Amino acid sequence: MTTKVLVIGGGQNAEHEVSLASAAAVAAALRMGDHDVTCVTIDRDGIWRVEGRPNGGSPAESLALALPLLTRTDVVFPAVHGALGEDGALAALCALAGVRVVGSGLRAGAIGMDKWTTKLVADAVGLGTARGRLVAADDIGDVEFEGEVVVKPVSAGSSHGVSLVTEEGQLLAALREAARFDRRILVEEVVRGREIDVAVLREKGGIRWAAPPLEIHATGLFDTATKYDGSARFSVPAQLDAAETAALKRAAIAVFDALGCDGVARMDFFLTERGPVLNEVNTMPGLTAASQVPRMFAAVGVSYVDLVSRLVRAAS
């Protein structure tokens, strides 16, 4: 039986271009299987664009024109990273419309996008995180820190607005850069350790499992430029002993469960002498065939086409 899938890409945030790449790759892979695929793009200004259809003059009008697609869709695949997408906004729309959606729901998406709240959840389940402080954008002129720190927006992806501060004179500029992306800013201690990602997948029927961990090899901060300029190198499976692998997978599944995630999520860790330290969670991670999550599942024989098909089958 053919499944009708509506793939949504784009979005109103700094990850717009990355999302377009994910959506295009997902749509192409689904078409290789038994899926009838329709695509919608959300422009940076919030206009919903459906090929061959009128778009309206405002976000509200364009959304109203696109909504009838939901009545002819079995599953929505919201490949929109960042705010007004990954944060649960699109999952909430689908829930209101009574349409199955790939990935996490509103609550998990909203909490996972909020790095400060995610730290509180991790602490509640016994996982370490970097010591940090929450700063309001209006208060950045009064902030003082000693030593090296990482400054980041509380809710932003692809490392946009993230800076490594190694001396006091750099702090204000870093805070201002983070404030371009969020009014809430996180200032954290620098954690020294290997950067390891773990992807967790919940299959149809509820079984969830972790793929082999992936290690990121990058010079300096794994920032936005490094993520997309090809200079970073990935090892998958990461060279870990059995105890390290087991600890990372347990930690990833614990966070996945605590947040109430569905579909696939990527947990980013630092592996330190005291064990895994959670950095952040991505409930709608990059999903081109070359992205980290598909690489991890490919390491155990789950092809990219199979992975996106599994996500559609597991949609709830």
pLDDT digits (tens, 9 = 90+) for 231-259: 678 999 999 999 999 999 999 999 999 99
Average pLDDT over residues 75-92: 94
Mean pLDDT of the chain: 91
Domains and CATH numbers, the chain: 3-101 (3.40.50.20), 110-129+192-313 (3.30.470.20), 132-189 (3.30.1490.20)
Task: Name the pLDDT band for 6 (thresholds 50, 70, 90).
Answer: very high
Return the closest-CA partner of residue 208 out of 249, 177, 171: 249
Higher pLDDT, 57 or 222: 57
| Cis peptide bond N-terminal to 237, omega within 30 | yes
Q: What's the Cα-to-Cα distance from 187 to each of 130, 146, 147, 149, 167, rounded to whole Å?
A: 10, 11, 12, 6, 14
Q: What's the Cα-to-Cα distance from 54 to each of 48, 91, 130, 201, 243, rounded to whole Å?
A: 10, 24, 48, 37, 56
pLDDT for res 257: 97
Helical (H) or strand (E) element with 311:
helix 304-313
pLDDT tens by residue, 112-136: 999 999 999 999 999 999 999 999 9
For every residue of 263-276, DSSP letters joined together read SEEEEEEEEETTEE
Task: Name the pLDDT band for 157 (thresholds 50, 70, 90).
Answer: low
Task: Reply yes or no on whether the pLDDT at 142 is more than 80.
Answer: no
Higher pLDDT, 27 or 138: 27
Percent of the residues in the chain that have a pLDDT greater than 90, as a whole number: 76
pTM: 0.91
Tokens (6 digits) for 138: 């209006």
pLDDT tens by residue, 207-230: 999 999 999 987 755 555 555 455
According to the 3-state scheme, what is the secondary structure of 133-164? EEEEHHHHHHCCCCCCEEEEECCCCCCCCCEE
pLDDT for res 222: 52
